[in-house]
């Protein structure tokens, strides 16, 4: 490991809140980006268009394992990493904090708050793209995700800038 301790940026926010845009900015500055959505797209295509919504959780498990392994390998090589995935529960965030600390890195939890109306506008605009973050999320899907999402509070989070 290099003399400087690697940092892992953990992102928390709903779809459309700006996580991937932020992750790409960090990537442009030399931080390794590990994108769960990009890997899902590469392996399985687009949700709804290429596989049913009902399969998503089953397909996501192995991709999260891959992403965690990649994160650990890059940190082990001394690199800082941005984990481009919306950690929607405190349990998930706590799990990744422990993984990062156990690997000898430090974590930064970056929170992306956004109003539902703003998210719907962004999701609608990007749904025509053919990219990893262009997953077609309908208003009912977003409402469900928002209903189960746990906003970070008192977890060492900082607001995205």
Q: Map out the domains of the chain as residue ranges.
A: 10-159
The residues that bridge with 51 in the sheet, in sequence order, are: 47
Q: In what order do the strands lie in the sheet with 81-86?
A: 32-35, 81-86, 7-12, 106-111, 157-159
Q: How far apart are CA 66 and CA 30, in angstroms?
A: 21
Task: Measure the CA dihedral 7/13/15/16, to 10°.
Answer: -90
Q: How far apart are CA 81 and CA 38, in angstroms?
A: 15
pLDDT tens track of the chain, all 161 residues?
Answer: 446 899 999 999 998 899 999 999 999 999 999 999 899 989 998 877 888 888 988 999 999 999 999 999 999 999 999 999 999 999 999 999 999 999 999 999 999 998 988 898 887 776 655 454 556 677 888 888 899 999 999 999 999 98
What is the topology classification, in CATH, of domain 10-159?
A: Rossmann fold (3.40.50)
């Amino acid at each position: 490991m290099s003399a400087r301790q690697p940092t892992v940026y953990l992102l928390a926010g709903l779809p459309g809140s700006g996580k991937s845009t932020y992750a790409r900015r960090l990537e442009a500055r030399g931080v390794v980006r590990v994108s769960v959505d990009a890997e899902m797209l590469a392996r399985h295509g687009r949700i709804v268009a290429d596989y049913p919504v009902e399969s998503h959780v089953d397909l996501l498990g192995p991709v999260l394992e891959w992403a965690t392994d990649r994160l650990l390998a890059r940190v082990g090589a001394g690199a800082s990493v941005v984990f481009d995935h919306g950690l929607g529960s405190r349990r998930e965030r706590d799990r990744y904090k422990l993984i990062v600390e156990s690997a000898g890195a430090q974590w930064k939890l970056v929170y992306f708050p956004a109003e539902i109306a703003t998210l719907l506008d962004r999701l609608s605009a990007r749904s025509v793209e053919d990219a990893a973050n262009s997953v077609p999320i309908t208003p009912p899907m977003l409402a469900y995700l928002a209903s189960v999402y746990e906003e970070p509070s008192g977890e060492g989070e900082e607001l995205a800038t």
